[in-house]
Amino acid sequence: ALGPYKGGLRFHPSVNLSILKFLGFEQILKNSLTTLLMGGGKGGSDFDPKGKSDNEVMRFCQSFMTELQRHVGADTDVPAGDIGVGGREIGYLFGQYKRLRNEFTGVLTGKNIKWGGSLIRPEA
C-alpha cells in the first residue's frame, strides 16, 4: 500500500462481507485518484444503531473497538464514519481505543474537537 488505509466504518443491517469487499475496492480506487499516499479500506457490522439506546450503542462500539484496535492505527488503518457511524459512534470507538491502548493518536477521523478532531469536519 502507499500508506495507511483510509475508508469508512458502516453500521447497517445490509452490511455483509460481499458489500464490504466491494466498498473496500471502491475506496481503493477513490483514494488512488487523489495525490494522498493512502490505501483504501472499509469495515463495519450489520448492527443497526437506529432505535437503540445510547448505552446499547456505546457497548456495541466498545466491543467492536476491542476487536478492531489491533488492526487500526495512525500508520496502519484510519477509519472514518459512514452510514450509521456518526460523531457519537466515533467518540465511543475512540474512547475505547484510548482506554485499551493508552494512546491519544489520530486513529479515527470525525472525532469531536475536544478529542483532536477538526473544526471544519462537519462542513466537509
pLDDT at 120: 58
Task: Indicate whether 121 belongs to any domain.
Answer: no
In a domain, 103, yes or no: yes
Position 122 pLDDT exceeds 80: no
Q: Is residue 124 part of a domain?
A: no
In a domain, 10, yes or no: yes
Q: Is residue 40 part of a domain?
A: yes
The phi, psi pair for 75, rounded to 5°, reads -105, 5
Can you tell me which residue has the cell 478529542? 115
Rounded distance between C-alpha atoms, residue 103 and residue 73, angstroms = 10
Residue 26 lies in a domain: yes
Q: Which residue has the higher pLDDT, 108 or 14?
A: 14
Judge whether 9 lies within some domain: yes
Residues taking part in catalysis: 42
How many domains would you assign to the chain? Answer: 1
What is the average pLDDT across 93-119?
79
Q: Domain of 54: which CATH number?
A: 3.40.50.10860
Supply the range of the domain harboring residue 65: 5-115
For residue 24, tell me if it sits in a domain: yes
pLDDT tens string 34-91? 888 889 999 999 999 999 999 999 999 999 999 999 999 888 888 999 999 999 999 9
Residues in the chain: 124
Over the chain, what is the mean pLDDT? 88
Alpha-carbon span 119 to 77, nearest angstrom: 22
How many C-beta atoms surround the C-beta of residue 75 within 10 A? Answer: 11
More confident residue, 20 or 73: 20
- The whole-model pTM stands at 0.85
C-alpha cell at 24: 473496500
